[in-house]
Structure formats: structure tokens, C-alpha cells
């Protein structure tokens, strides 16, 4: 098994290999039997999923779950064995084995995959979503591998088209069959059905009365109970997520299939667009670029939605896990089809793509990467050391040159270290602190503090009638819309939470009360458009340079918006931007451009479809109040928030598409448009100040004490983030919107935080206070440098590593 020169130790070359050379070459569309195989495998895998994981009639989801649960003890054995085998294969450089040993390596790789799959299936007792994720993620990956193994000559568009159509059929069949089953057989998630499923899944049903009235099929005759007993039984039916997943499995399959078919649709659209493009610089479809951004936003939105909802039965974690799996799957599919180089090249074709690439290479991304991967990277360095020693003493591994044999770590590890050493760690660590602050705001502020404040607000507002509450909401909403950073979604969620309870007390039913909240929110949005466009745009924007700079009037994207908004009529692009664009910049820009407010092509008429974006968010907010009433409402609340965010993101997708399309088609004309000279002058001053501040904050210019303090602050901030995310239940008490501080927290809001949580808050507080003090210190040094030209030049020269310039200055 002598080690011969194998493939280059470069992951990018491996990733770029699939289909890269044949993307633009049209192959044969494929024979009927080939498309039949694709349809058959997709539909067959969907039927297998339903049979194994669903609780519908003739399906065996409960039996499969119970059988797997019985073998839970073997899950860790399978996982640890597979992991150990993976480490051995990595250290032994299996990818460099040749001859017959290549088949041995393939067999070991197959054994690892089987081990991991078995571990995922057997771990269902503790990780309910593991089998679902394994099936839903693994099946598309198998289909992509099938293209390379059995359908290599078949045109990629033809293959993906059949795969897309089959997935969409799965969506239709799964959704319709599940809906029909629920409606026709009265299988709603009510107390009766919950009892049946809890008994089928052998969950704990503590009410002995229930066991007395169970009849064939596991059903319970609720007529034998009083209303009070039914409520008591419902309150006891908690903490059995597997029962709910058994009921919801077909719907999960339907949603997953729909999203995957949408991903394939945009990939096919991009391929066709690239093949038809005569100008290579315009080969990337702007809509496809926007869709990839939507997928990323969707994952974040689902996380926020599931976290806010606080649903029982670990649904938040399940939604987050499945959405992250979809994001990873999308990335895998895109990279497998296009390759990293093609994606990078395509993203370079538009200003939007360039900005995204620049963002990925920025210190912000490096800060996020440092926070997320530092523990993993340290483990990788240990593994790299062991691998390097194995390469020095065993002939079956990658051959090393005489120079490489002198190194303690592998070449890849050294390359990563050299790359990291080239970072501006002063800037990266400061941004790490900002990332930690943002994480705390979303993870703790949105999910817990906001819930606490809303609970207190509900108590305060409870004695008030509908009229005063509506007036108060309008005042708060208009104030929020007047602030540039505040988006509309929090205002609409707030409307559902604040207006629905007093409307119900006034005699409205729940849904009429929700519709009242939608109407008030819509009228508020129209008033906000008038305020933003007339006051901030037309009146203040023409006089204040800061407002025009905040809008970004000199950017190519804003110039594209100007072109779209100033066209006569109500074209699709104009409506998409008015409804899907960011609230404050869009309306203020319309005011700056003197876009008519009234009339058939005015901003108000063009913004009318925004009600379809407002309604789901308001309803989602209203459902938050009912989430603690039972798992059904909790689930509906979570799903409504997720759907609301995706609808908002889809509207933004349309706006981004038309903006990107205009930029691609009119890039040269947009660049030639005369800039706002006052804004340009202000931006030049700001850019110069930012350059000097960046030089002051460069690692080479920081004194040793500042370096140590900055490093310690970033460590404590990172530790707090890991603590809040990994041990959330140990840091905070469970508290819902409908809970009361006086009863749930014994009258003290600070009881929301447990002792472990206070440790995390202290770590976060130290990092935040240091960030404030250090920022003031940097501002002081920056002002000194701006006043001393010689000092400024020395700092910039040292930051840029220009030793010749530094010597000349000295």
C-alpha cells in the first residue's frame, strides 16, 4: 500500500469538480426510462418516508419509533465507532491509497456512512429530528450522486427538471393527502387525538380517568368528561414531541419538498439564463442571486420565529434544525451543480454579488468565523499534528517533501494559520464584541426580554378599552416608523399582541379581532408612508445631507431604485419596491425623487398590496398570546411567524430582483448619473475618518495592554454566547407572553435569570462595557491622529505594512 501522489490536498478543487466543465454544454435530454427512474425514486422515497415516520392510516411511524427507541443504547456505540473510524481514515490519508487498497478505503468510507446513519436512527429517543433530517437531507444528496454515477451524459437541466417536477408532485400529494386525512377523518390535533397518539407512542398519560374510557383504536370518548376534566387532561398532555411529529410528518415532507423544488427551479433558471446569455458578464440571473439571499434570510427568520413563539415540545429546536438542514442542503446542491469557482465568478458579475463577496471577505465575517469555529479549529490543530506525524513515519499516507517533513503541522493547517496571522486582529476582535452584543439582543432580548416586556404591557393595558389601546399603538407605531433602523415587522407583531385582547373584550371573536389589528396596521403603514415621504423625504431630505446619505443616494442600487420609481405607471418593479423594499429608505427616497403620493401611479396606490404582507405578521403576533393554551396553538404560532417572515422575505426577493435586473441592464448609465455632491463630500470625510480609525485600531498600532484587554474581552463575550446558546434552559426560567410576573416570577422580573444566567450576563456585561470604553479610547486616538498629519501617516504606514514609507516618515 505504498503512498503514491494522490489528489491535491485542496478542498476547493474537489468541490469545483462536479459537472463544472459540462454546465454550459447541452447534452441529450434523456430517455423516457431515465426520467421514469427519477420520478420513481423520488416518489418511492416519499412513500417510504410516509410509511416509516407518519401516523396516517396504514403507516407504521409509531411502531418504527418504538423499535428504534428500544435500541437507543446502541446509538452512541455506532456514533463513536463511526467517528473513531473517520479519525483513523483521516490520519491514515485514505484518499491517497492506491491499487486494491482504494477499494478497502471505499469500504471503510461506506462503513462510516452506515455507522452515522444508524446512529441517527437509533438516537431518535433523545434527538427526535435526527431520522427526519437523515432522510430529508440524505435523499437529495443521493440523487445528486446518482447524476454523476448513472446519468453522467444526461443534460443537467433535464435531470434537475425531472427532479424538480417529481419533488413538486410529492409536495402536492403529501399536502393534499394530509389535509384530506385531517379534515375528512376529523384528525385535528385536539385532546382526543392527542390522547390516542400519546398512547400509541407510549407517552405518559397520568390521568387515570382517561385509561378507563379508552376503547379500540386508542380513542377516547370525550363525552364522558366534563369541560373542566377535558381542560385538566389537555394540560397534562405535554412533553411528547414524538407524538406531534408523528401526526405532522406528512406536512413536514410537503414543506420540505416544496422548498427543495423551489431551489431546483432557481438553479434551472440560472442555468438556462447562463446558456442563453450572449454577454458572459451578465450570465448570472439576478433573481437566482436574490433567491440564494432569501434562503439565508429564511433560516434566520425561522430561528427568530421559533424562538419568539416559545412553543412546547421542543418545536423551536426542531424548526431550527430542519431549517438549518435546508440551508445546508441548498448550499450543497448549489456547489455540487456549479462549483465554487463558477459561483464566485457569477457573483462577480453584479454590484450586488460583489458586495456579498466583499462582505464574506470582511472582518465581520472573520469575527463571526472566529466565534463559531475557535473550539473546532483548536481540535483541528491537534488532529493536524497527529496527521503530520503519521505522514512522517508511515508510507501509506501522503508523501512529504523534505521541506514539509520539518513542519509540525500539515500544510493546510499552516496555510490557515498564515492566513489568520494576516488578519487585522484589532478590527476582528472589536467586531467579535459587536457580534456578541447583536447575538445577545436577538437571543436574549428578542426571545426573553421582549416576552417579559410584552407580558408586563399586557397587564398594564388590561384595564383599558379598545379605543385608548388603539391610540397608544398608533403613537408607538408612528414613532417606530419615524426611526430609520426600525423595520415594519416588529410593529406588526406588536399590533397582534396589543390590539387583539381588548378587541376580544369588546365583543370581537379571535379572528375578527385579528382582522381589526390587520386593518389598523395597514392604515398605520399608509400614514407612515405619508410621514416618511413628505416630511423626511421632500421637506427634510432636501435640506439635510445626513438624510440623503442615510438613504444612500449615490449608490448604484439606489440609483436603480430611482430609475424604477420615476417611471410612469405602476409597473411590477415599482410595486415590488414600494411593498418589499426597506420601509424608511424606500419612502424617504420616493420623497426625495418627488414621486407622486396620490394618483393612480402614486406611492399610496402602489403600496396597497402591502396588506398581504402585513396580515400574516399581525396574525402571527396575535397567535403568540394563544401559544400557552396548548400544543396546537403553540405550533400554529410558530408556523405563522415562520410563514410571515418568508412572505416578507419573498417580497424583498421581488424588490431585489428588479433592482439587480436594472443594475445589470443599465450599469454603465447608472454609474454616469451625476452624484449628490454634498453627500459625496460628506462620504469622503467619513471614509477618511474611517480609514484613520481603522489604522488606529490595527493590531500593529495597539499597545500590549490594549491587546491583552481586547483579547480577554472577546474571550468572555464568546463564552457568554456559548453559555446562552448551549445552556439556555439553565440560564433562564420558562416564561410566556401570557404569564404574569407576579405569579410566575414571584413578583420580581429579575427572577427570569437563573444563577448560571447571571454568570453569562456578567461575562457579556464585561465585554460590552469594555467595548464602550475601548470605542471611546479609539475615538480619542483617531481625533488626535486627524489633528496631527505626521502621526496619521505613521499609523497608516504601520497598519499597511509599508516599511519604506514608514522609514521615509521617520
- Report which of 465, 471, 460, 514 is spatially closest to residue 492, judged by C-alpha positions: 514
Comparison of pLDDT for 799 and 771, the residue scoring more: 771
- Joined grid coordinates for residue 208: 387515570
DSSP-assigned beta bridge partners for residue 214:
220
Contact assessment for residue 573 and residue 658, using Cβ atoms and an 8 Å cutoff: yes
The answer to the question of residue 327 being in a domain is no
Backbone torsion region of residue 801, taken as left when φ is above 0, otherwise alpha when ψ lies between -120 and 50, otherwise beta: left
Q: Domain check: are 492 and 379 in the same one?
A: no
Contact assessment for residue 91 and residue 383, using Cβ atoms and an 8 Å cutoff: yes
Q: Which tens digits make up the pLDDT trace of 385-419? A: 999 998 888 877 788 888 888 888 888 899 989 88
The answer to the question of residue 483 being in a domain is yes
- Average pLDDT for 327-347: 66
pLDDT at 281 over 50: no
Note the pLDDT of residue 810.
35
pLDDT at 290 over 60: no
> What's the number of domains the chain is made of?
2
- Average pLDDT for 347-357: 61
CA 248, CA 635: separation in Å to the nearest integer?
A: 10
Comparison of pLDDT for 666 and 608, the residue scoring more: 608
- Joined grid coordinates for residue 624: 403568540
DSSP 413-455: HHHHHHHHHTS-HHHHHHHHHHHHHHHHIIIIIIIIIHHHHHH
Which of 679, 705, 729 is at the close of a domain? 679
- For every residue of 99-141, which 3-state class applies, written as one string? CCHHHHHHHHHHHHHHHHHHHHHHHHHCCCHHHHHHHHHHHHH
Contact assessment for residue 130 and residue 121, using Cβ atoms and an 8 Å cutoff: yes
DSSP-assigned beta bridge partners for residue 753:
732
Q: Domain check: are 526 and 380 in the same one?
A: no
For the chain, state the CA radius of gyration.
29
| Kind and range of the H or E run holding 579 | helix 572-580
The answer to the question of residue 153 being in a domain is no
Provide the domain limits for residue 479: 431-679
- Joined grid coordinates for residue 788: 496631527
Q: Domain check: are 545 and 636 in the same one?
A: yes
Q: Domain check: are 588 and 507 in the same one?
A: yes
- Report which of 34, 175, 775 is spatially closest to residue 434, judged by C-alpha positions: 775
pLDDT bin (cut points 50, 70, 90) of residue 668 is confident
Note the pLDDT of residue 300.
45
Contact assessment for residue 756 and residue 727, using Cβ atoms and an 8 Å cutoff: yes
Q: Domain check: are 556 and 611 in the same one?
A: yes
- Average pLDDT for 479-486: 71
Q: Domain check: are 632 and 583 in the same one?
A: yes
Note the pLDDT of residue 13.
39
Where would I find the H helices in 702-745?
704-726, 728-731, 741-744
405-409, 449-453, 762-766, range with the lowest pLDDT: 449-453
Q: Which of 332-336, 468-472, 576-580 has the highest mean pLDDT?
A: 468-472
CA distances to 11, 40, 143, 481, 664 from 37, in Å = 32, 5, 11, 54, 40
Q: Which tens digits make up the pLDDT trace of 541-568? A: 667 777 677 667 777 777 888 788 877 7
Contact assessment for residue 264 and residue 164, using Cβ atoms and an 8 Å cutoff: yes
Which of 421, 445, 471 is at the close of a domain? 421
List Cβ<8 Å contacts ≥24 apart for 442-449: 442/304, 443/307, 443/721, 443/724, 443/725, 443/728, 444/724, 444/732, 446/304, 446/307, 446/308, 447/307, 447/308, 447/310, 448/732, 448/735, 448/752
Q: Which of 158-162, 491-495, 572-576 has the highest mean pLDDT?
A: 158-162
Contact assessment for residue 421 and residue 703, using Cβ atoms and an 8 Å cutoff: no
Give the end-to-end CA distance of the chain in Å, rounded to a whole number: 61
The answer to the question of residue 410 being in a domain is yes
Note the pLDDT of residue 340.
63
CA 541, CA 586: separation in Å to the nearest integer?
A: 13
* Contact partners, residue 808, CB within 8 Å, separation at least 6: none
CA 134, CA 314: separation in Å to the nearest integer?
A: 19
pLDDT at 615 over 80: yes
Contact assessment for residue 521 and residue 495, using Cβ atoms and an 8 Å cutoff: yes
Q: Which tens digits make up the pLDDT trace of 496-523? A: 888 888 898 888 888 899 999 999 999 9
The answer to the question of residue 247 being in a domain is no
CA distances to 682, 740, 753 from 746, in Å = 53, 9, 13
Q: Domain check: are 560 and 655 in the same one?
A: yes
Comparison of pLDDT for 59 and 152, the residue scoring more: 59
Q: Which tens digits make up the pLDDT trace of 719-759? A: 998 888 777 778 888 776 667 777 777 778 888 888 888 99
How buried is 47 (Cβ within 10 angstroms: 0-12 exposed, 13-18 middle, 19+ buried)? Answer: middle
Q: Domain check: are 380 and 494 in the same one?
A: no
- Tally the C-alpha atoms within 13 A of residue 589's C-alpha that lie toward its C-beta: 26
Where would I find the H helices in 185-314?
191-200, 208-212, 227-236, 241-276, 286-309
Please count the other Cβ atoms lying within 10 Å of the Cβ belonging to residue 633: 19
Note the pLDDT of residue 36.
92
Note the pLDDT of residue 346.
61
- Report which of 312, 320, 639, 612 is spatially closest to residue 492, judged by C-alpha positions: 612
Which of 679, 705, 733 is at the close of a domain? 679
Please count the other Cβ atoms lying within 10 Å of the Cβ belonging to residue 22: 13
- Joined grid coordinates for residue 256: 420540505
Q: Domain check: are 506 and 413 in the same one?
A: no
pLDDT at 151 over 80: yes
The answer to the question of residue 761 being in a domain is no
113-117, 223-227, 254-258, 289-293, range with the lowest pLDDT: 289-293
DSSP-assigned beta bridge partners for residue 31:
none
CA 289, CA 350: separation in Å to the nearest integer?
A: 10
CA 786, CA 87: separation in Å to the nearest integer?
A: 54
DSSP 474-493: HHHHHHHHHSTT--HHHHHH
- Tally the C-alpha atoms within 13 A of residue 565's C-alpha that lie toward its C-beta: 30
The answer to the question of residue 212 being in a domain is no
Q: Whole-number mean pLDDT of the chain?
A: 77
Note the pLDDT of residue 295.
52
Backbone angles phi, psi at 652, to 5 degrees: -65, -35
**Which three-class secondary structure state does DSSP give residue 353?**
helix
Q: Domain check: are 543 and 668 in the same one?
A: yes
**Which three-class secondary structure state does DSSP give residue 615?**
helix
pLDDT at 804 over 50: no
pLDDT at 226 over 50: yes
Note the pLDDT of residue 40.
92
The answer to the question of residue 762 being in a domain is no
Note the pLDDT of residue 23.
56
Contact assessment for residue 735 and residue 752, using Cβ atoms and an 8 Å cutoff: yes
69-83, 249-263, 633-647, range with the lowest pLDDT: 633-647
Give the percent of the chain with pLDDT over 90.
14
- Report which of 645, 571, 576, 628 is spatially closest to residue 607, judged by C-alpha positions: 576
Q: Domain check: are 483 and 381 in the same one?
A: no
Q: Domain check: are 404 and 485 in the same one?
A: no
Amino acid at each position: 500500500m505504498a503512498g503514491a501522489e494522490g489528489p491535491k490536498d485542496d478542498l476547493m478543487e474537489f468541490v469545483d469538480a462536479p459537472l463544472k466543465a459540462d454546465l454550459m454544454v447541452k447534452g441529450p435530454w434523456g430517455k423516457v426510462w431515465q426520467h421514469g427512474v427519477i420520478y420513481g425514486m423520488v416518489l418511492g422515497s416519499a412513500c417510504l418516508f410516509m410509511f416509516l415516520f407518519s401516523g396516517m392510516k396504514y403507516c407504521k411511524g409509531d411502531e418504527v419509533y418504538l423499535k428504534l427507541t428500544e435500541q437507543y443504547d446502541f446509538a452512541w456505540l455506532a456514533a463513536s465507532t463511526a467517528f473513531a473510524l473517520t479519525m483513523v481514515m483521516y490520519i491514515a490519508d485514505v484518499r491517497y491509497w492506491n491499487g486494491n487498497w482504494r477499494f478497502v478505503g471505499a469500504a471503510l468510507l461506506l462503513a462510516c456512512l452506515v455507522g452515522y446513519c444508524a446512529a441517527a436512527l437509533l438516537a431518535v429517543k433523545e434527538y427526535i429530528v435526527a431520522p427526519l433530517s437523515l432522510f430529508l437531507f440524505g435523499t437529495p444528496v443521493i440523487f445528486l450522486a446518482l447524476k454523476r454515477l448513472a446519468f453522467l451524459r444526461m443534460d443537467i437541466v433535464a435531470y434537475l427538471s425531472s427532479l424538480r417536477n417529481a419533488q413538486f408532485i410529492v409536495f402536492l400529494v403529501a399536502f393534499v393527502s394530509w389535509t384530506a386525512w385531517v379534515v375528512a377523518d376529523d384528525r385535528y390535533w385536539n385532546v382526543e387525538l392527542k390522547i390516542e397518539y400519546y398512547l400509541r407512542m407510549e407517552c405518559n398519560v397520568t390521568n387515570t380517568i382517561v385509561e378507563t374510557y379508552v376503547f379500540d383504536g386508542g380513542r377516547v370518548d370525550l363525552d364522558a368528561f366534563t369541560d373542566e376534566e377535558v381542560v385538566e387532561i389537555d394540560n397534562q398532555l405535554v412533553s411528547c414531541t414524538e407524538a406531534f411529529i408523528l401526526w405532522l410528518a406528512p406536512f413536514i415532507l410537503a414543506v420540505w419538498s416544496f422548498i427543495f423544488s423551489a431551489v431546483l427551479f432557481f438553479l434551472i433558471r440560472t442555468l438556462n439564463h447562463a446558456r442563453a446569455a450572449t454577454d458572459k458578464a451578465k450570465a448570472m440571473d439576478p433573481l437566482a442571486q436574490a433567491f440564494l439571499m432569501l434562503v439565508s434570510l429564511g433560516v434566520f427568520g425561522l430561528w427568530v420565529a421559533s424562538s419568539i413563539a416559545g412553543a412546547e415540545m421542543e418545536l423551536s429546536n426542531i424548526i431550527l434544525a430542519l431549517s438549518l438542514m435546508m440551508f445546508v442542503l441548498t448550499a450543497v446542491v448549489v456547489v455540487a451543480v456549479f462549483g465554487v469557482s463558477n459561483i464566485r465568478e457569477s457573483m462577480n458579475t453584479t454590484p450586488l454579488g460583489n458586495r456579498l463577496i466583499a462582505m464574506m471577505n470582511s472582518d465581520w465575517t472573520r469575527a463571526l468565523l472566529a466565534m463559531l469555529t475557535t473550539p473546532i479549529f483548536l481540535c483541528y490543530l491537534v488532529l493536524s499534528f497527529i496527521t503530520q506525524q503519521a505522514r512522517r513515519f508511515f508510507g501509506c499516507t501522503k508523501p512529504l517533501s523534505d521541506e514539509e517533513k520539518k513542519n509540525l503541522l500539515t500544510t493546510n493547517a499552516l496555510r490557515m494559520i498564515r492566513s489568520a496571522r494576516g488578519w487585522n486582529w484589532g478590527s476582528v476582535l472589536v467586531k467579535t464584541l459587536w457580534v456578541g452584543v447583536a447575538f445577545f439582543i436577538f437571543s436574549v432580548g428578542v426571545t426573553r426580554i421582549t416576552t417579559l416586556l410584552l407580558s408586563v404591557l399586557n397587564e398594564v393595558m388590561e384595564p383599558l378599552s379598545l379605543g385608548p389601546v388603539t391610540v397608544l399603538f398608533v403613537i408607538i407605531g408612528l414613532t417606530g416608523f419615524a426611526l430609520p433602523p426600525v423595520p415594519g415587522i416588529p410593529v406588526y407583531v406588536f399590533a397582534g399582541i396589543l390590539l387583539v385582547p381588548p378587541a376580544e373584550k369588546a365583543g370581537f371573536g379571535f379572528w375578527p379581532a385579528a382582522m381589526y389589528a390587520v386593518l389598523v396596521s395597514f392604515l398605520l403603514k399608509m400614514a407612515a408612508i405619508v410621514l416618511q415621504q413628505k416630511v423626511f423625504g421632500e421637506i427634510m431630505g432636501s435640506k439635510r445631507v445626513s438624510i440623503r446619505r442615510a438613504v444612500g443616494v449615490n449608490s448604484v442600487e439606489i440609483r436603480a431604485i430611482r430609475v424604477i420609481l420615476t417611471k410612469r405607471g405602476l409597473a411590477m418593479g415599482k410595486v415590488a419596491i414600494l411593498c418589499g423594499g426597506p420601509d424608511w429608505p424606500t419612502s424617504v427616497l420616493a420623497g426625495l425623487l418627488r414621486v407622486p403620493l396620490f394618483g393612480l401611479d402614486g406611492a399610496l396606490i402602489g403600496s396597497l398590496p402591502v396588506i398581504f404582507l402585513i396580515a400574516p405578521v399581525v396574525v402571527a403576533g396575535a397567535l403568540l398570546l394563544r401559544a400557552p393554551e396548548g400544543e396546537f396553538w403553540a405550533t400554529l404560532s410558530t408556523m405563522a411567524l415562520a410563514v410571515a417572515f418568508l412572505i416578507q422575505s419573498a417580497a424583498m426577493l421581488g424588490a431585489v430582483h428588479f433592482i439587480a435586473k436594472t443594475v445589470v441592464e443599465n450599469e454603465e448609465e447608472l454609474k454616469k448619473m451625476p452624484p449628490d455632491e454634498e453627500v459625496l463630500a460628506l462620504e469622503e470625510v467619513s471614509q477618511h475618518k474611517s480609514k484613520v480609525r481603522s489604522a488606529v485600531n490595527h493590531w500593529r498600532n495597539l499597545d500590549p495592554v490594549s491587546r491583552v484587554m481586547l483579547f480577554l474581552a472577546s474571550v468572555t463575550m464568546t463564552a457568554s454566547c456559548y453559555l446562552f446558546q448551549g445552556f439556555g434552559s439553565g440560564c433562564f426560567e420558562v416564561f410566556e407572553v401570557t404569564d404574569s410576573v407576579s405569579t410566575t416570577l414571584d413578583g420580581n422580573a429579575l427572577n427570569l435569570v437563573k444563577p448560571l444566567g447571571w454568570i453569562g450576563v456578567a461575562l457579556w456585561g464585561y465585554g460590552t462595557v469594555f467595548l464602550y470604553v475601548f470605542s471611546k479610547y479609539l475615538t480619542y486616538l483617531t481625533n488626535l491622529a486627524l489633528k496631527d498629519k505626521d502621526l496619521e501617516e505613521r499609523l497608516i504606514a504601520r497598519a499597511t505594512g509599508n516599511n519604506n514609507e514608514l522609514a521615509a516618515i521617520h
